[in-house]
A = this chain, B = another copy of it.
Amino acid sequence: MSNANDKSILIVGSMAFDDLELPSGNFADVVGGSATYCAYAASLFSGVKIVAVVGDDFPAATLDSLAQRGVNTDGIERVDGKTFRWKGRYAQNLSSRTTLDTQLNVFADFRPKLPTSYQKCTHLLLGNIHPALQLEVLDQVEKPEFVAADTMNFWIEGERPTLERVLKKIDCLVVNDEEIRQLSGEHNIKQAAARVLKMGPKRLIVKRGEYGAMLFDEHGIFFAPAYPLEAEVDPTGAGDVFAGAFMGFLARESEMDRGSLRRALMMAATVASFCVESVGTERVQTLTREDVAHRLESLRSLVHFGA
């Protein structure tokens, strides 16, 4: 077993510009993407390496900001053309959103290429990209200690056989309510989870937004509540921050047992709550361990029922 200092997380995902129509206003060219959010969150706890692609319009300031948080950005390929762009409109109460436009741009031809220095990583987080690309990444790394993957309705519907191959190669799937229901064909969460666990991963995390998150594994079910916020501003990326913080925290733990997974889920819920408090990565990119430790205590007391 490697010691804690050797641990590092490799994150593969998108880096993007988001145009956001939020109840608090419209925000254009907000730097986002799953890899960006995941990396900021994971960097709170562990060394992070990113594999992604950006266009020539992507701000150097973001790459600098990531590097300042200890994120290795060598695997971020910069190519001629425009960065991936997503435009979405949120409902007044932020509980739903509509995609208004998606421009894949340089992301359309993305083939993850890992620098040699990336081939050894203890933890691998396969962001929500084409499952064939997730497999390509898996092929390029030496066997990590722990592999988690995200996916979405688009791949569940259109790329199921490939996605099923991914499921057989990962330790943990991280999805939301709708995705687990679609993947399993079962509405009941407990039954849906049982079906997905039979597809390969030994652990499953179901993110339920303001209703918290659930971990299903061989120890049963664990539930982490969402931190109740007074002001929700922008949920974009909160799910990615959740996954990034989960993996980052887990990489720091000396043992991987029932307790560490549960603590990682509580930590993930805590870090994700900060993400929602401001537009884009604004709050997450300046977050400190002290900020997080304080809120984690509040989250713990939320479920503390002792006398």
Contacts and interface: CB of A to CB of B under 8 A. Distances in A.
Interface of A: 92-93, 187-191, 208, 210-212, 214, 220-225, 228-232, 257-260, 262-263, 265-266, 298, 300-307
Contacts of A220: 298, 301-302
A220 B300 CA distance: 12
B303 A303 contact: yes
A208 to B, nearest CB: 7
Consensus secondary structure, chain A interface: mixed
A229 B190 contact: yes
A298 B210 CA distance: 23
B228 A225 contact: no
13 contacts: A92-B187, A188-B232, A189-B210, A190-B228, A190-B229, A211-B211, A212-B225, A220-B302, A222-B302, A222-B303, A224-B305, A225-B303, A259-B305
A260 B305 CA distance: 8
Nearest to A228: B190
A265 B302 CA distance: 12
Contact of A225 (B191, B225, B257, B263): B225
A230 B216 CA distance: 14
A300 B224 CA distance: 12
Contact of A266 (B221, B231, B262, B305): B305
A188 B305 contact: no
A211 B214 contact: no
A188 B221 contact: no
A221 B228 contact: yes
Contacts of A221: 228, 302
B302 A223 contact: yes
Nearest to A214: B228
Contact of A229 (B188, B229, B263, B298): B188
B214 A212 contact: no
Contacts of A188: 229-232
A188 B233 CA distance: 11
Contacts of A262: 304-305
A82 B232 CA distance: 49
Contacts of A212: 211-212, 223, 225
Nearest to A229: B190
Nearest to A216: B228
Contacts of A229: 188, 190
